[in-house]
Homo-oligomer: A and B are copies of this chain.
Amino acid sequence: MNIGEIARRSGVSRSTVSYALSGKRRVSKVTQQRIQAVIDELGYRPNASARALKEGRTRTIGLVIPPAGRRLTDMQLGFVASVVDAAGRADLDVLLSPSGGEHDRSFERMVGGKRVDGVVLMEIRLEDDRVARLRQTGLPFVGIGHTNHPEEMSWVDIDYETLISKCVHHLADLGHRRIALVNRSAELVAAGYGPGHRAQTGFARAVAERGLDSVQRCCADDAQSGVACVEALLGEHPGLTAIATINEAAMPGVYRALAQAGLAVPRDFSIAGVAAQHWAENLHPPLTAADVPADELGARAVELLIQRIADPATPHLSLLLAPAISLRGTTGPARPR
């Protein structure tokens, strides 16, 4: 079932079969049909490895996701889904690599072995080994997230700094004076995970601007941790009346702990954050949040990547989204306790 077999059965040379398939040179109508008939009969498909070897491209992109053992958040799942979807529409396959660092075996196979034509990188750190490695190899790549050197690469990202700042201002406008930031996990932040740091920055700036009492706290990406986090916050800061957050996965636990403490949302306590739209709407009550258009972001990343693959010399582009905050059910006027 290789091209030689097709050629033999249709009584032509291998090159003619190739041209019939690709259309890069004219082939007479009768020959064309004869070849097509044989192909249909045998169900022939060109061997992808052979084609990739000769053409120098694999028609595959790599998608680097957070390493094994950590559950994807809803937003990340949205990124993955939209990347896969957008790639499929462009007839590109997607190779998955769950890698945290440069020396991950699957990451190294991917970028070292020319298995992919380009890479979409998720969960980028402020200083990221993988970015360095990719730049060194010259392989086109696009980040969902960006490093401390944003001009050195193409990326799409959410403007966490601005958005968290807006959340704080929104809460302050409602009269809240003591606000906590519920960040992502301590490990991620310690590793230099971008959104974690930018959220801190935006939060610090906004509370300073408004002269608020504030506290920051890291929290792992699950409901139990959300419960523990809120319990600790309420214990240590009894006057707290609001939370700003980028940790969507902790929200169910946050809600639960507040209810447990007898605090009704939004009557006694307010929450505003950054989350995937789908997730924010599904919480109960629905979360007042900047709606991250995860679907769009992944698609845009793939667009940029396709562009860079077509012409690696194109100047770097970036897209920093700051979606509006949708007022839903979790913010209201401060009511001192």
By a beta-carbon cutoff of 8 Å, the part of chain A in contact with chain B is: 43, 45-50, 52-53, 58, 60, 63, 68-69, 71-72, 77, 81, 84-85, 88, 91, 93-98, 105-106, 108-110, 112-115, 222-224, 252, 256, 278, 282, 284
Contacts and interface: CB of A to CB of B under 8 A. Distances in A.
A223 B49 contact: no
A69 B88 CA distance: 12
20 contacts: A45-B108, A45-B109, A45-B113, A46-B113, A47-B53, A48-B113, A48-B115, A49-B52, A60-B95, A72-B77, A77-B77, A91-B105, A93-B97, A94-B95, A94-B96, A95-B96, A96-B96, A252-B282, A252-B284, A256-B284
Contacts of A60: 95
Nearest to A85: B68
Contacts of A45: 108-109, 112-114
A53 B3 CA distance: 14
Contacts of A58: 49
Most chain-B CB neighbours within 10 Å: which of A48, A109, A278? Answer: A48
Contacts of A98: 84-85, 88
A96 B120 CA distance: 14
Nearest to A97: B93
Most chain-B CB neighbours within 10 Å: which of A45, A77, A108, A222? Answer: A45
A96 B60 CA distance: 10
A236 to B, nearest CB: 24
Contacts of A278: 71
A88 B112 contact: no
Contacts of A114: 45, 47-49
A77 to B, nearest CB: 6
B93 A95 contact: yes
Contacts of A252: 282, 284
A122 to B, nearest CB: 14
A282 B223 contact: yes
B105 A85 contact: no
Given A49-B58, A222-B282, A284-B256, A88 B68 contact: yes
The 5 lowest CB-CB distance pairs between A and B, nearest first, are A45-B112, A48-B113, A49-B52, A68-B85, A49-B53
B84 A109 contact: no
A71 to B, nearest CB: 7
Nearest to A226: B282
Contacts of A256: 284
A295 to B, nearest CB: 10
A36 to B, nearest CB: 16
Contact of A115 (B69, B77, B93): B93
A56 B47 CA distance: 10
A258 to B, nearest CB: 12
A96 B115 CA distance: 14
Nearest to A278: B71
Contacts of A52: 49
A334 B88 CA distance: 50
Contact of A53 (B53, B85, B96, B224): B53
A65 B95 CA distance: 13
